[in-house]
Structure 1
Amino acid sequence: MSLDQVTRTGGERLLRGERNWWFLGAGGIARLGSRHLTADGALLPETERWLDEKGLFAASPVRSYSLTVLTSTHCNLGCGYCFQNTAQDPAGGGRPPRIARSRLTSKTITSVLDFTRRQMAAADLERLRILLFGGEPLLNPRGCLELLERAADIGQTSAWMISNATLLTPRLARQLTELGLDSVQVTFDGDRPDHDRIRTGRADGGGTFDTIIGNIVGASEAAPVRWTLRVNVSQENIHGIDSLIDRLAAALDPARCTLYFARVGDVGIGYANDLRTGELSAAFVRWQRRALGLGFTVTRPGARRPCTTCGHSGGRYGAVVSADGTLSSCWETAGKSDWEVGTVADGYVSGTKADDRWIACEDLYRYDEGARAIAEFRDTVDTALLDHLDETGRL
């Protein structure tokens, strides 16, 4: 689908499948036939009215404030592509320089919760969803637990965590889920040999694959956690992704796991990914179908929608707070002193400075290809997934 075939500016997408067209709107997905479109592939007025009546243009209202808190800016791994690195390791190892160290304290938690209460009141929201983030959040388990426990007083209804899982114990998993944690996102960098070469311990340079798998298994036995397994794809690991999917299915419970595949981007710190979208679409389609066949969930495509956290200026529906109480617009700039947009004590700054520093998801990522090539890649992969979900009765 060409970009000019979207008939509205709200992020709707129109994709041509093998047997039909797919409309992806803020309110859901619809299967369309050729009779619903003009000869050049645009929605007919009566089709647009029908989709509107069905609510497919209408986004669900925001119901929860989305608060991201870095409980620690330090990390025990040394991944070379991390957007919190400030450069590559000059020695060529697994210790790239990072953002400054900071650790969430009880005093800062008080300020964070006071700030969040004010933000929720301004947005007329009574529910709160917290993301425990880092660095590695579990380098400060006490901060994670205290934040969740105290947030219950201002309306926390759920929480999730992005973690490398190397420090996740069954006991800690139980404690976190008792305080509202329902899911954890963990990254794999290809199959075991590639992962253990890329995703290494910062202190000893050792591999982490078996530790992560063992900790996910132990935590799953101890607590009702759901898992999102992010699979990073680069020239360093692409040939091992097929075997990784099989290995994960053998070791974990696919029914509790969602897989998604992500091309590693360049954030300007000297780590380049040579893979181009033209080489990747067939592989992404194959991996998604293999994952579904093994019982994993694969994230469904959707309309282009602004991120709740960074897609609205001034932290209207969400905020990113570093461990020292400074505010950033997005996860990708958290902990970076030249990207701060305020503090929890004083709120968001305004004016040109704030506008210049307001970054949304992946704004900092650099690719050798233009926006059209990247959009076509996404459309190709998403169309194939929708076709497959429909053919197999999963849609």
Structure 2
Amino acid sequence: MTDLSDLRLSRYVLSVPSNDSVLVVGLLKRAVLEVSPEYWNALSESDENGNSTLSALPSELISVLVDARILVESNFDELAHARTQSLLARGRPDTFGLIVVPTMSCNMGCHYCFEDKPENDGGLPTRISEDLLNFAENRMTDPRLRTFHLRWFGGEPMLEIDRVLEITQKLKIMSASHGRRFRADMVTNGYGITRSCAEQMREAGLQAVQITFEGDQRKHDKIRRLSKAGSFDGIIASLKAAGDLLEFTARVHVAPYSVDTIPRLLRHLHSEGLHHVLKAIYFAPIFNYRQNDPRRNFQENSGLYLSSRAFATHEAELLADARQLGFTTLDPLDADYGVCTALRENTAVMNVDGTLSKCYLDAGDRNESYGNITGDIDNPQNLQKWRDADFSADPDCAACTFAPVCLGGCDKHARAASDKSMICTSLKYNYADVLQLYHG
């Protein structure tokens, strides 16, 4: 029998009114329960003498609340628990993630891109490709490994599709020979994926693709331009040609100058039947970052970039709009907040020259590399700073209700920014509306 006097409401709990009930959301375990207003009052309030009213709750409900860590023991250190869970996720040995940049060249020139893109860097040399395969082979001999996850990034990886297919297929075969699960995906602008190309990608083992939209066709084509024309129609053609062969996810960038056009984008995609093609669609703010101009990094500019609070309002409205049109959107409680690629011990970004970095924002930036694909560690400080990242050491984050899901947000951003106006999770500002969409 649980001693009710030793229980208290977790500090990481949200409550959202929902019709005639209350959604109780425990962020420590991302648990959602629906209870009556009376039960919520008993759970969250005290009587006139300051005593707990938990005895008004059924014992079965108490057990569920304890299991969900919505109720916790009085002396339970919740912040330390959240930190421990984060460290466990960061150190998981069963999955290795390798993000490969086969070229820094690109066929587009988006104004906000953080990368320096050469016109043609020649792509991955044969020697680097061979070193990559040897590196992967060494990783796959680790008896703790269960999954090898390959992601193609850039630049624009489709510019090196032959090399991408060759290496993906070899890694798929290698994974099978070691009894490892293999997953491969690509972040691409999505332009020019033909059905024949998609068939080759799928055969090689590359099945998932993330593409990006910037708003409706007129706005998108102003931002994501080829040399002489926009790219919108070409991306739509790719989705139609390959949507039954590849798993497409669409990232939609939200900025002050484009947000009003996104509802038209959603309706256009719906009219083309692409709500059935896209595995998911999600919305993301763009941010101010330049690899070679630290003075500009993460600075606010209300005309070009949205704060977390401003984005949150638009995000809630766009999620509701997308879901009403039949698009699949991602439950924010399922999102992998905080534990990004750079913070995971078993991940690396391999640049086209074979150097290794941790953060995808550092793709192509030699100043941020820590070693190379042959195993040399020549800049250990660039590796150690990610290992040292600790959201709980920040007083604001340590005191925040959303710490278990945000985990301090982007560490690179946090180290460079003077405040958290563009770092905090949007859920902090729109949770009532967004959680009602998914769980109400």
TM-score of the two chains, using structure 1 as the length reference: 0.79
- Which residue number corresponds to residue 236 of structure 1? 257
Are residue 148 (structure 1) and residue 149 (structure 2) matched?
A: no
Contact 1:159/1:180 (8 A) holds in 2: yes
Equivalents in 2 of 1:84, 1:359: separation in Å?
26
- Which residue number corresponds to residue 352 of structure 2? 323
Alignment-mate amino acid for residue 311 of structure 1: L
Contact 1:229/1:259 (8 A) holds in 2: yes
- Which residue number corresponds to residue 226 of structure 1? 247
Contact 1:20/1:31 (8 A) holds in 2: yes
Equivalents in 2 of 1:23, 1:77: separation in Å?
43
Equivalents in 2 of 1:138, 1:83: separation in Å?
19
Equivalents in 2 of 1:102, 1:338: separation in Å?
21
More deviation, 116-125/177-186: 116-125
* Cα distance change, pair 305–274 in 1 and its aligned pair in 2 (3 A): closer
* Cα distance change, pair 125–74 in 1 and its aligned pair in 2 (3 A): same
* Cα distance change, pair 253–293 in 1 and its aligned pair in 2 (3 A): same
Contact 1:115/1:344 (8 A) holds in 2: yes
SS of 1:81 mapped into structure 2: coil
- Which residue number corresponds to residue 338 of structure 1? 367
- Which residue number corresponds to residue 212 of structure 1? 235
Are residue 254 (structure 1) and residue 275 (structure 2) matched?
A: yes
Query: Superposition RMSD on alpha carbons, in Å?
Result: 3.5
Contact 1:189/1:195 (8 A) holds in 2: yes
1:199-248 CA distance string (max 9 Å, x none)? 111x33x2111111111111125x2x121111101122111011111111
Equivalents in 2 of 1:306, 1:282: separation in Å?
21
Aligned pairs, number: 360
Equivalents in 1 of 2:122, 2:413: separation in Å?
25
More deviation, 113-122/45-54: 45-54
Which one of 164, 178, 182 corresponds to residue 157 of structure 1? Answer: 182
- Unaligned stretches of 5+ in structure 1? 86-96
Are residue 389 (structure 1) and residue 434 (structure 2) matched?
A: no
- Which residue number corresponds to residue 88 of structure 1? none
- Which residue number corresponds to residue 93 of structure 1? none
- Which residue number corresponds to residue 309 of structure 1? 341
1:85-135 CA distance string (max 9 Å, x none)? 4xxxxxxxxxxx669935123332221121123234447204212111111
CA apart distance, 1:185: 0.5
Give aligned-pair identity as a percent.
Answer: 24
Contact 2:112/2:288 (8 A) holds in 1: yes
- Which residue number corresponds to residue 29 of structure 1? 31
TM-score of the two chains, using structure 2 as the length reference: 0.72
Q: How does 1:1-395 map to 2 (within 5 A)?
A: 14-18=13-17, 19-25=22-28, 28-31=30-33, 33=35, 34=40, 37-39=43-45, 49-51=66-68, 63-85=94-116, 101=121, 103-122=123-142, 124-155=144-175, 157-201=182-226, 203-204=227-228, 206-221=229-244, 223=245, 225-257=246-278, 258-268=280-290, 272=301, 273-302=304-333, 305-307=337-339, 309-312=341-344, 316-349=345-378, 351-356=380-385, 362-365=410-413, 370-371=419-420, 374-375=423-424, 377-391=426-440
More deviation, 109-118/169-178: 109-118
Equivalents in 1 of 2:332, 2:144: separation in Å?
30
Equivalents in 2 of 1:191, 1:84: separation in Å?
24
- Unaligned stretches of 5+ in structure 2? 1-7, 47-53, 55-61, 72-80, 176-180, 390-408
Contact 1:261/1:284 (8 A) holds in 2: yes
Equivalents in 2 of 1:335, 1:175: separation in Å?
27
* Cα distance change, pair 247–385 in 1 and its aligned pair in 2 (3 A): same
SS of 1:275 mapped into structure 2: coil
Equivalents in 1 of 2:161, 2:305: separation in Å?
37
Contact 1:329/1:359 (8 A) holds in 2: no
SS of 1:375 mapped into structure 2: coil
Alignment-mate amino acid for residue 342 of structure 2: C
Equivalents in 1 of 2:265, 2:173: separation in Å?
42
SS of 2:253 mapped into structure 1: strand
SS of 1:260 mapped into structure 2: strand
Q: Tell which structure's C-alpha radius of gyration is larger.
A: 2
SS of 1:385 mapped into structure 2: helix
